[in-house]
Amino acid sequence: MAVKEGWRGRFFEDFEVGDVYRHPLGRTVTTTDNIWFTLLTQNTAPIHFDHHYSKQTEFGQPLVDSTFTLALVTGQSVTDVSQNVFANLGWDAVKLPNPVFEGDTIYSQSEVLTVRESKSRPNVGIVTVNTTGYNQDGKVVISFQRTLMVYKRDFAPQIPRHEPNDQA
C-alpha cells in the first residue's frame, strides 16, 4: 500500500496570474449561524436576528450579517488560496450586490490577480486574488480582493506527520 501525502495547499510558487480556483465546499447558512455571529460581533441591527422585525422590511425575512458572508467566503477559499498563509494584508473592494438569506447555500471561487516577491521577506511572496461568492441560484452575493503573504515551499512551517501506533 502506498502512503500519499494529503493536499497541503498552494505555496507561493504555485500561484499564476489568471488561474481560477473553484473552491470545493458549499455551505448552507442557518438561522443559528446568523443570530450567533450577529450577536457575537455585537451587531445590534434587528434585521439580522429579529424575525418579527425583519418581516416588516422589503425583504420580508432576516438578512444574513454581511460580515458573516465575508468570513464564510474567505474561509471557503483557504484550502486553495491561504492554507500556507504567513499573513493577510487586507481585504479591498468588498461589494455585496445581492442579499444572503438564512437557508441560502454559498459557493465561491477565486482568481489570481497578482503574484510578486516580497521586498522585505525572502521567505514569502505576495498574492492578490479576487474572490466571488454566489448563492445556489448563481447570484453573486459578495466579491472582494484579498492580498496575502504566502510562504514559499522551502520556508513553510512543517506539520508533524506521525505514523499511527499499531499497538492496541
| pLDDT tens column, 116-134 | 999 999 999 999 999 999 9
If one compares 158 and 147, the residue with the highest pLDDT of the two is: 147
pLDDT of 81 higher than 80: yes
* Average pLDDT value for residue range 54-75: 97
Contacts of residue 151, defined as CB under 8 A and 6 or more positions apart, other chains included, come to: 11, 12, 84, 85, 86, 123, 124, 157
Buried b (16+ CB within 10 A) or exposed e, 69-96: bbebbbebbebbbbbbbbeeeeeeeeeb
Burial of 24-56, coded b for 16+ CB within 10 Å and e otherwise, reads: eeebebeeebbbebbeeeebeeebbbeeeebee
- The mean pLDDT value for 140-144 works out to 98
Q: On the CB side of 151, how many CA atoms lie within 13 Å of its CA?
A: 14
In this predicted structure, the answer to whether residue 42 has a pLDDT above a threshold of 90 is yes
- Cα distance between residue 66 and residue 13, in whole Å: 33
Task: Give the whole-angstrom CA distance, residue 4 versus residue 140.
Answer: 37
pLDDT of residue 168: 55
Q: What average pLDDT does this structure show over 73-99?
A: 97
CATH number, domain 12-154: 3.10.129.10
CB hemisphere CA count around 43 (13 angstroms): 19
What share of the chain in percent tops pLDDT 70?
96
Over residues 2-12, mean pLDDT: 85
pLDDT at 27 over 80: yes
What pLDDT, on the 0 to 100 scale, is given for residue 164? Answer: 67
Cell reading at 101: 438569506
pLDDT of residue 84: 96
Average pLDDT, the chain: 94
Of the two residues 89 and 2, the one the predictor is more confident about is 89
Are 29 and 65 within 8 A, CB to CB? no
* CA distance linking residue 39 with residue 47, whole number of Å: 12
pLDDT attached to residue 21: 97
Average pLDDT rounded to a whole number, residues 104-115: 98
Cell (9 digits) for 153: 515551499
